[in-house]
Amino acid sequence: LSATIRQHPIEVIKQLMRNGVMANVNEVIDFETAAKLTADFGIEAKPQPVRSAAQKKKRPDQEYLKHLPLRPPVVTIMGHVDHGKTRLLDAIRQTHVMESEAGGITQHIGAYQVEVKGQKITFLDTPGHEAFTAMRARGARATDITILVVAADDGIMPQTLEAIDHARAAEVPIIVAVNKIDKPGANPDRVKQQLADQGLVIEEWGGDTIAVGTSAKDGIGIDELLENILLVAEIEDLHADPGASATGVVIEAEMDKNRGAMTTVLIQNGTLKVGDIVVVGNVFGKIKAMFNDQNKQIRKAEPSTPAAILGLPAVPNVGDTLTVATNERQARLQISERAEKKTATVTLSSLHEQIASGSVKELNIILKTDVQGSIEPIRTSLEKLTTEKLSVHIIHAGTGNVTENDVMLAIASSGLVIGFSTGIETGAQRLADAEKIDIRQYDIIYNLVEEVDKALKGLLEPEI
């Protein structure tokens, strides 16, 4: 209905609520209700004969999912340094988590859950797009929704732009928290304008970006922010099967002096139980004990729940995936199978072949330049190279040296990095070498564009 009347689903749900209908995004509403709703938007509805089942498009995977229970959304907070990410995470935790009785000290295990109106939300504790993309680079998609924190007295800054691009590359919806509205110099309207310049047009201006004014310091807007997370979660329609064999992703891992390897996993599907044999990255072990975000011992963990597990012989990497094996032999088999499954990276010299074989349909480019003024001409010239077989996307552009973050984004998006009159940080080069990410450097726009063009056509001279 929302698509037909060209209104954002959130607007439709809100209007239904105003009319006293508590509907979710998948609700079937009758003609009367729909007609009243469209009338509220100035559109007259007429009944149409029902189409036969055969005429309806079938989406088998979604059909299957629809019968499974909803799972809590997993949220990551991103934004520029000092805009209040950590304080916001603390404010949410303080107001919505029941602290454990013993002195109110809750151990941080890398994520925590809050309950809002009887529904759970999981927050990842490590703020920032760096952690987010590092996980994606390892193949893990842990986040459902991003909260972009922008300080109202400072506005959009370079890392805000980076965060937007990283969230977009992952196709994760963004909710904006315009923070520090308590400060005398706060100018939320300026932030909203800057967001609109980035294509994030807020709802009150006719767009579909939700922005909430917050003060992490005074606890203002926190409830509204949480309610909007639930709203977006509903639209995202997040299901999981608690009855399945558990899968998860490592969000924190460390060596505990007394207990050994402590690994926090976020359960993505299924239910993890004490006694399960799990394969995590390239190690496996039997789960001896599990703890929740309240440091309480638990026997099982369901989808979207963070759980600290004991029983692995070594500390795995953040972003490693967890699966359950029926026995040790199968666990070993899983590890060897995983080692073989490495996705091919995109390089300029192999590009033509990859296009021809159909393995690459998009060329994702991370562009770094010395000055802001170079970005637009290069972006325009590169995007013009788009053909029927391959579309060229600049998924992130910024000034300064090529950083580790840029390479991470290239890994996560199967892209390559182009530097224009700029250097490469040592760590970035090391990571690129290890992960076989192509970093190309140019000083003349013409050469840059010509080389990419040649690569697309398979005319590039082989590298010596």
Question: Is residue 396 part of an annotated ligand binding site?
Answer: no
User: Nearest to residue 125, comparing CAs of 147, 108, 142?
Assistant: 108
Question: Is residue 104 part of an annotated ligand binding site?
Answer: no
Helix (H, G, I), strand (E, B) or coil at 398: strand
Q: Does 179 bind ligand GDP (CB under 6 A)?
A: yes
Contact residue for ligand GDP among 82, 224, 241, 370 (CB under 6 A): 82
Question: Is residue 127 part of an annotated ligand binding site?
Answer: yes
Residue carrying structure tokens 């300026």: 190
Cα–Cα dist 137/279, whole Å: 19
Helix (H, G, I), strand (E, B) or coil at 172: coil
CA gyration radius, the chain:
24
Question: Is residue 160 part of an annotated ligand binding site?
Answer: no
Q: Does 84 bind ligand GDP (CB under 6 A)?
A: yes
Q: Which amino acid does the sequence have at 211?
A: A
Q: Does 76 bind ligand GDP (CB under 6 A)?
A: no
Contact residue for ligand GDP among 87, 96, 273, 379 (CB under 6 A): 87
| Among the residue ranges 33-41, 45-53, 78-86, 281-289, the one whose residues contact ligand GDP (CB under 6 A) | 78-86
Q: Does 187 bind ligand GDP (CB under 6 A)?
A: no
User: Nearest to residue 360, comparing CAs of 342, 338, 337, 344?
Assistant: 344
Question: Is residue 180 part of an annotated ligand binding site?
Answer: yes
Name every residue whose Cβ is closer than 8 Å to that of residue 296 and which is 6 or more positions away in sequence: 100
Residue 325 and residue 280 in contact, taking contact as beta carbons nearer than 8 Å: no
Question: Is residue 276 part of an annotated ligand binding site?
Answer: no
Q: Does 83 bind ligand GDP (CB under 6 A)?
A: yes
Q: For residues 36 and 217, which CB has a smaller minimum distance to ligand GDP in the complex?
A: 217
| Kind plus residue range of the DSSP H or E element containing 152 | none
Token digits of residue 458:
């398979």
Q: For residues 96 and 183, which CB has a smaller minimum distance to ligand GDP in the complex?
A: 183
| Among the residue ranges 174-182, 257-265, 332-340, 408-416, the one whose residues contact ligand GDP (CB under 6 A) | 174-182
| Among the residue ranges 19-27, 82-90, 324-332, 373-381, the one whose residues contact ligand GDP (CB under 6 A) | 82-90
Q: Report the 10 Å Cβ neighbour count for 196.
A: 15
Q: For residues 79 and 311, which CB has a smaller minimum distance to ligand GDP in the complex?
A: 79
Cα–Cα dist 9/1, whole Å: 8
Please give the span between the terminal C-alpha atoms of the chain, in angstroms, as a whole number.
Answer: 58
Question: Is residue 181 part of an annotated ligand binding site?
Answer: yes
Q: Which amino acid does the sequence have at 267?
A: I
- Is the Cα dihedral 149, 152, 153, 156 positive or negative? positive
Q: Does 86 bind ligand GDP (CB under 6 A)?
A: yes
Helix (H, G, I), strand (E, B) or coil at 155: coil
Contact residue for ligand GDP among 85, 138, 166, 192 (CB under 6 A): 85
Question: Is residue 393 part of an annotated ligand binding site?
Answer: no
User: Is beta strand 321-325 parallel, antiparallel or unpaired with respect to 247-256?
Assistant: antiparallel
Q: For residues 82 and 241, which CB has a smaller minimum distance to ligand GDP in the complex?
A: 82
Min. distance of Cβ 87 from ligand GDP in angstroms? 3
- Residues 140-151 as b/e (b if ≥16 CB within 10 A, e otherwise) read bebbbbbbbbbb
| Among the residue ranges 5-13, 139-147, 213-221, 299-307, the one whose residues contact ligand GDP (CB under 6 A) | 213-221
Q: Does 401 bind ligand GDP (CB under 6 A)?
A: no
Residue 436 and residue 369 in contact, taking contact as beta carbons nearer than 8 Å: no
Q: Which amino acid does the sequence have at 49?
A: P
Cα–Cα dist 455/353, whole Å: 10
Min. distance of Cβ 218 from ligand GDP in angstroms? 7
Q: Does 311 bind ligand GDP (CB under 6 A)?
A: no
Binding to ligand GDP in span 116-155, by CB under 6 A: 127
Question: Is residue 281 part of an annotated ligand binding site?
Answer: no
Cα–Cα dist 147/127, whole Å: 10
Min. distance of Cβ 259 from ligand GDP in angstroms? 29
| Among the residue ranges 109-117, 176-184, 359-367, 397-405, the one whose residues contact ligand GDP (CB under 6 A) | 176-184
Q: Report the 10 Å Cβ neighbour count for 254.
A: 11
| Among the residue ranges 40-48, 112-120, 212-220, 428-436, the one whose residues contact ligand GDP (CB under 6 A) | 212-220
| Among the residue ranges 62-70, 83-91, 271-279, 403-411, the one whose residues contact ligand GDP (CB under 6 A) | 83-91
Residue 261 and residue 284 in contact, taking contact as beta carbons nearer than 8 Å: no
| Chain position whose Cβ is nearest to ligand GDP | 84
Question: Is residue 81 part of an annotated ligand binding site?
Answer: yes
Residues engaged in binding ligand GDP (CB under 6 A): 79, 81-87, 127, 179-180, 182-183, 215-217
Instruction: List the binding residues.
Output: 79-86, 125-129, 179-182
Instruction: List the binding residues for GTP.
Output: 79-86, 125-129, 179-182
